[in-house]
Chains A and B, each alone.
Chain A
Amino acid sequence: MIRKTQFIIFFMVLLCLLVSGCGSQKTSQNEWDGTLKISLRADPPRLDPCYSAAVVDRFVFQGLFDKLVDLDSTGKIVPMLAESWDISSDGLVYTLHLRHDVKFHDGTDFNADAVVFNINEGRKKESNRKSELTFVNDVKALNDDTVQITLKKPFSPFMSVLTDRAGMIRSPEAVKKYGVDFARHPVGTGPFVFVDRLKGDSITLEKNPNYWGKGDKAPKAQRIIYKIIEDPNIALVNLKSGQIDFADYLPFNQIESYKTDPVFTVSDEPTLGFSGFYLNIKKDTFADTRVRKAIELLIDRDAIVKVALSGVATPGRTAYAPMSFAWTDFDKPHKPDIAQARQLLQEAGKDQGLSFSICTDTNPINGTLVQMLQKMMRDGGIDMQIEKYDFGTLLAKGKKGSFDALMVSWSGRIDPDQNIYTWLYSDSSNNYCKYNNPEFDQILDEARVSLDMDKRKALYSQASEILDRDIPYVFLYHAHNLYGMRRDVKGYVPSPDGMVKPVSMYKSTD
């Protein structure tokens, strides 16, 4: 029996020695080993640009896949796999001139046939890119380096579409070889090659030794490890302790302390997206426009951004964020007008006993936000109930239309059409509230075929005014990304679409 106690003590002492002895070696990191560790707020469901749906997928794609064209830091469309392009004067024919020094990670050649293959795959009905490529009539290879895409109708957002997943070129050989399993063996032309993945934990990429980008465009890191860290507080402690070098998500409410932190800095970046909630027009409660407008008039967007989001967002009342070319001053929200709201409710005969429920997800920020909304509604004599659901259920309710009000947000795209069409055009896939306004539809249709940017801007302004009158969706704010990086991380360039591009990033104590 003495032996047992002694053994236990001995074991514990051994454990302590083991732990403390090894721990101290971690902290000395003078030489960078070439590994950059970036945290992701969710596990990318599918690493296949053709079928991908999540924003986090796009993060990993920045290293693996090149696109036909890219966005520079000002939002301008610049060459990538396509060196140059011509658009016919009627806006129907796009001719892309491709680079000819590019190979896929599996050694096969990148050429016009590969582009044709990918675009045709994207047009198939199972593809998640179908709606983005719906205007494509025909695509063919004129020669090894030239692709011609013919559209059914002029479609102004087309080049912007090619800066994202629809323009990411996968190796046709790999797609044919792996089929549905391509997502587990992604092969592109990007600066990094896929190595390994532990679901729910990490994704490892390695430098592509044969990357076509040279000098500034060549990848600097030897290895990128994407670590899945869902909770922003946990991402924060990992960033502080050096377990990760770059965090894609930090708690907003501690932003003041980040500004003076010795080991890391933050980048508060506006996105192109919008956040808010739908009002179900099919319900009697919301059938009257005056009721919907009254609800909107009760909301103090500045307070919401200040309190629920700790100032890390831009209040707004249209679909267009300040970075979009369609943005105008109109987006700046007005102060709440409780008197006017009450009057509208009275005119609509709903000033007594109006009640509805709002469905939201389990994100704590939304939790605070809806509580603030509840108070604001109460000031107008409206009783608002809060219902929380997991994201899958929330989407299902949205699609079925079984809700009064539903909070849903959009990460945003560079072209204004892609921030509004599928959301509010009659019968489109994300139009959960079933908004149906022919005048509005016509404006959107006209705007997407016009190639005149000024005309488009004017049309989108008109659309915003209609939405502000009809309020099928209450726009609240334009989200920001709050990225954190250790002070020795260099070469990070913010991108208007919020993507973190690892090719230029490296670590240095200089």
Chain B
Amino acid sequence: MRNLVFRLVSAIPVLILVSVMVFSLLHLLPGDPATAILGNEASPEAIAALNEKLGMNKPIIVQYGDWVYNLFHGNLGNSMVDNTPVTKLIAQRLPATLELTVGAFVVAIIIALPSGILSAARPGTWIDHVCTFISMLGMSIPHFWLGMMMILFFAVKLGLLPASGYVSLTQDPVANMEAMIMPMIATGFRQSAVLMRMVRSSMLDVMNADYIRTAVAKGLSERAVLVGQALRNAMIPVVTTSGLLIASLLGGLVITETIFSIPGFGKLMIDSVFRRDFTTVQGSILIVAVFVIIVNIIVDVLYTFIDPRIKLDKEDK
């Protein structure tokens, strides 16, 4: 518990560093928000006026200071494009991406765990070859191509699923599932490839251990050995990889969101960078950083459940 608190507190310097880096990088980009927002039709006076209003003429330190000050008052600022509060923008766009992240991960697990275990249980056989081949496909097939193919087949040709049209889960779960099932599968399939390899190699490592040989000798069924004994011990690298995969998804789903026209968080960030909407980018990156930190903490906590020898706190001997 003490360690958990320490972990949370030590996240703060990380967040500070991230925010300073993002802030600096944004200001290094050529072009200013007013030009990006007002476009090439704008008069120089309109651009100057907007830049002034957005505070672009203040020294950078002052701009950063203003932002941090607002942050401590629970205010992420307003979008430079149309003044929408950044918190509102993020709240609108985060649920879709979170849902996609979780769903894609579930799909990945459903594919990776059974195929990884089977491969490890029957190394070198046709089962292993088939599972490895599927994993190769997952790694090689670009997920945007897979997504487009699925749309063409299921939406255009068969008319079974919509080509787009995100509806939030709370509004209409059925319509939501219809819209999200294809992007979840397209993304999840690719993720499953990496996971499957991890499961397989980790299991193979574990299978050679003495305690496995003991379990077999004791007469336990293959399933009991695999799932009961080996899998649990093999999970640590898998959990680590999973954590990294999930953490990367929050900002990494831009292409999927674009193809399936999902109003997601990744797309919000990319669009904001192109529009030089500094406040939205800063607020979003902060959220991503927080998310990654939380995921890592959860992964660490999970370790202790998987392997009781691992403790969060240092024990007094």
* A binding-site residues for B, Cβ under 8 Å: 1-2, 4, 8, 12, 15, 18-20, 22-24, 26-27, 43, 45-47, 51, 53-54, 125-128, 130-131, 180-181, 183-184, 198-202, 227-231, 233-234, 237-238, 240-241, 243, 390-393, 395-399, 408, 429-430
Contacts and interface: CB of A to CB of B under 8 A. Distances in A.
Contacts of A4: 227
B268 interface: yes
Closest 6 interchain pairs by CB? A201-B263, A396-B31, A53-B39, A23-B160, A392-B36, A126-B49
B30 A243 contact: no
Interface of B: 29-32, 35-46, 49-50, 53, 81-84, 89, 92-93, 110, 114, 148, 151-152, 155-156, 159-166, 174-175, 177-178, 181, 223-224, 227-228, 258-259, 261, 263, 267-268, 271, 274-276
Contact of A18 (B114, B174, B267): B174
Nearest to A48: B82
B223 A1 contact: yes
Nearest to B181: A19
Nearest to A389: B30
A442 to B, nearest CB: 22
11 contacts: A8-B114, A18-B174, A23-B178, A43-B271, A128-B42, A131-B43, A184-B84, A200-B263, A229-B261, A392-B274, A396-B35
B164 A234 contact: yes
Contacts of B83: 180-181, 183-184
B46 A237 contact: no
Contacts of A12: 110
B174 A22 contact: yes
B181 A200 contact: no
Contacts of A234: 163-164, 258-259, 261
A132 B164 CA distance: 39
B148 A237 contact: yes
A51 B50 CA distance: 10
Contacts of B177: 15, 18-19
A130 B148 contact: no
A1 B224 contact: yes
B93 A243 contact: no
Contacts of A22: 174-175, 178
A494 B261 CA distance: 27
Contacts of B165: 243
Contact of B35 (A227, A241, A399): A399
A126 B53 contact: yes
B81 A46 contact: yes
Given A396-B30, A429-B44, A19 B160 contact: yes
Given A19-B161, A53-B41, A391-B36, 13 more contacts: A23-B178, A46-B37, A53-B38, A130-B43, A130-B45, A199-B268, A202-B263, A240-B163, A241-B155, A392-B30, A396-B32, A397-B30, A429-B42
Contact of B162 (A2, A26, A54, A202): A26
A45 B177 CA distance: 30
Contact of B258 (A23, A127, A230): A230
B38 A128 contact: yes
Nearest to B257: A200
Nearest to B50: A126
A128 B39 CA distance: 10
B102 to A, nearest CB: 14
A395 B39 contact: yes
A53 B166 CA distance: 28
B160 A228 contact: no
Contacts of B53: 126
A2 B222 CA distance: 12
A15 B155 CA distance: 17
Contacts of A18: 174, 177
A435 B52 CA distance: 29
Nearest to B158: A23
Given A53-B37, A53-B42, A130-B45, A229 B164 contact: yes
Contacts of B32: 396
Nearest to B31: A396
A46 B175 CA distance: 30
A430 B31 contact: no
Given A46-B82, A128-B43, A395 B271 contact: no
A12 B49 CA distance: 57
Given A24-B160, A27-B159, A392-B31, A199 B92 contact: yes
A8 B31 CA distance: 52
Contacts of B174: 18, 22
B153 to A, nearest CB: 11
A105 B44 CA distance: 33
Contacts of B151: 237, 241
A377 to B, nearest CB: 25
Nearest to A229: B261
B31 to A, nearest CB: 3
B28 to A, nearest CB: 12
